[in-house]
Structure 1
């Protein structure tokens, strides 16, 4: 079992406010996405050899916005149900432990894109996303015990992380774990195809 660590846990006031809880991960994810220069990221994405079933780049923004929103809603639900004065002491403990795990998973989530696309370190990005998926899986289990809706709200995120882990490992493997100098010369047009994976 985890423990509650106040120094690395998002403040309780954020979890307790529905708008703040939902908007915080969306705002942080958007800020990281834009700080990684979307056009440069897309140029790298399209230059990489990709495993089957990779989505087009334009899918990621809407998908992550939805998943970040569900993540924030889950946090709000778990916190308000679990910290309710009428909830059991066990739910209080699970909620607080989950709040620390939530904060850790959010940090792991936010560093993946800079690791993969800016630093071009696929091994470190793979370690990060595997840890992120594990932490999120455990968080889903904990908060599911506090509130079924909170657990269910994390399920799509957990599923997407499994798929993202497959993509991360697949791209790393197909590109010999070296993403340096992998970039198309200019930002692609909408109908641009991926790099020829057969080369």
Structure 2
């Protein structure tokens, strides 16, 4: 598994630069968010039943920007600074870099799955995987004094991922796990 994670990890130059570590997830998240966000007047999105406690849509952009920056800085602290001789094994560094890269890819896939493809089951599975990977990364980093600050920085992200998983699963469940056109309009042609 370490070999696989080594090959999928972002380049070391990203992790060794605090600016690149912070700005890369913000830029990628912003690009995916703007390209796959639902239209304000999309009747199918407006008709979706939402679980209790869902915040207004305007909250998500600022929250995700902050979380992307925080997770990027955590990756810099845990992976990038370890190149400066901090006490972390090569295996832990490779696992950290690979899992961080994997979770970033899964994170970026959620919006296209949920809003673009309208696949709530796959989006919820993606969210559960994100929560598990990031919970493990947080735990791994908290267990080592050299990466403990990175583990603490991951806590808000892991907490939000738990909430996001609830929202994803809740919306899927409340809408019978289908976000396509309503059953009454399926199979009818527009004239």
TM-score, scaled relative to structure 2: 0.87
Give the aligned length. Answer: 179
Moved over 6 A (4+): none
Q: Which residue of 2 aligns with 1:132?
A: 130
Report matched runs for 1:1-199 at 5 Å: 3-4=2-3, 5-39=5-39, 44-85=44-85, 87-88=86-87, 90-144=88-142, 145=144, 146-181=146-181
Q: Is the 8 A contact 1:41 1:117 kept in 2?
A: no
SS at structure 2 position matched to 1:120: coil
- Mind listing any 5+ residue stretches in structure 1 that lack a counterpart? 183-199
- Cα deviation digits, residues 114-139 of structure 1 (max 9, x gap): 00001000011111110111011111
Q: Is the contact between residue 22 and residue 69 of structure 1 (CA under 8 Å) also seen in structure 2? A: yes
Q: How far apart, CA to CA, are the structure 1 residues paired with 2:44 and 2:94?
A: 39
Secondary structure of 2:125's counterpart equals: helix
Structure 2 residue matching 1:108: 3-state secondary structure:
helix
Deviation of 1:91 after TM superposition, in Å, equals 3.4
- CA deviations 1:1-52 (Å, max 9, x no partner) are x525332110000000010110000000001011114525976543210111
Deviations 1:134-191 (A, max 9, x none): 0111111122224111001111000000000001111011001111127xxxxxxxxx
Tell me the distance in 1 between the aligned counterparts of 2:152 and 2:46.
33
- Name the structure 2 match of 1:188: none
Q: SS state of the match for residue 84, structure 2? A: coil
Flag structure 2 segments of 5+ consecutive residues without an equivalent: 183-191
8 Å CA contact 1:83–1:91 kept in 2: the answer is no
For 1:41 and 1:83, the matched residues in 2 are separated by 49
Q: Return the alpha-carbon distance in structure 2 between the equivalents of residues 41 and 171 of structure 1.
A: 19
Distance 1:57 1:25 in 2: 20
The 8 Å contact of residues 121 and 172 in structure 2, kept in 1 or not, is answered as yes
Distance 1:92 1:7, change over 3 A: closer
Decide whether aligned partners of structure 1 residues 6 and 32 sit closer, same or farther in structure 2, where only a CA change above 3 A counts: same
